[in-house]
Amino acid sequence: MTNEQARSDLHTVMDGVQEQLRTIARIQQERAQIIGTATVRKRVTVTVNADNRVIETKFAADIDDLDYAEIAKAVTEAAQQAAAEVARKTAELTAPFHEQRARMPKLSDLVDGMPQLRIPEPVEASLDPPKARDRLAGNDDQGNRGGSSAATDSSW
């Protein structure tokens, strides 16, 4: 490969990186506006922001028809459903970026002898209550993320 070709390839990659940085900045701004809202049993409504923090909780006028345990369960379910809505909206927002990133060359494509690196998939957090059997039984698997323990250069 000539110096001119290498310089051209580097320039192309840098242009791609700059475009990705602009896209990331735009996505971050749009993501910050995302909210998710869910209503459970027609009596409890919870709204969460893009960081899955509860920003509003509303009870219907007939909330007193439920006992405390039912209210607690409804609040938890509504918050989880609202967070799932945020996750869905965030995935929709970021999908074009992930497609753009997938088209970019990997570091191993640009540097001879560079190994292919992969970031492990994140482990999904349990939605079980703190003292639930499934959560307690799952402690043995903590840290086991499956797959390889390598890292990836997919941020290109």
| Residue whose C-alpha is closest to residue 39's, from 16, 60, 62 | 60
Question: Last residue of a domain, which of 104, 128, 147?
Answer: 104
Please give the order of strands across the beta sheet that includes 44-49: 35-40, 44-49, 54-59
**Residue 114: predicted pLDDT:** 77
**Residue 142: predicted pLDDT:** 45
Domain span including residue 87: 12-104
Q: What is residue 145's three-state secondary structure? A: coil
- 99 with 140, same domain: the answer is no
**Residue 3: predicted pLDDT:** 82
Please indicate, yes or no, if residue 2 is contained in any of the structural domains.
no
**pLDDT digit string (tens) for the chain, length 156 residues:** 578 887 887 788 788 788 889 989 999 999 999 999 999 999 999 999 999 999 999 999 999 999 999 999 999 999 999 999 999 999 999 998 888 877 777 777 777 777 877 778 889 889 999 888 888 776 554 444 444 444 444 443
User: Left, alpha or beta for 147 (phi > 0: left; psi -120 to 50: alpha)?
Assistant: left
**Residue 122: predicted pLDDT:** 85
Q: What is residue 101's three-state secondary structure? A: helix
- 22 with 87, same domain: the answer is yes
pTM across the whole model:
0.71
Please indicate, yes or no, if residue 3 is contained in any of the structural domains.
no
**Residue 53: predicted pLDDT:** 98
Please indicate, yes or no, if residue 1 is contained in any of the structural domains.
no
User: Left, alpha or beta for 143 (phi > 0: left; psi -120 to 50: alpha)?
Assistant: left
Helix (H) or strand (E) holding 107: helix 107-110
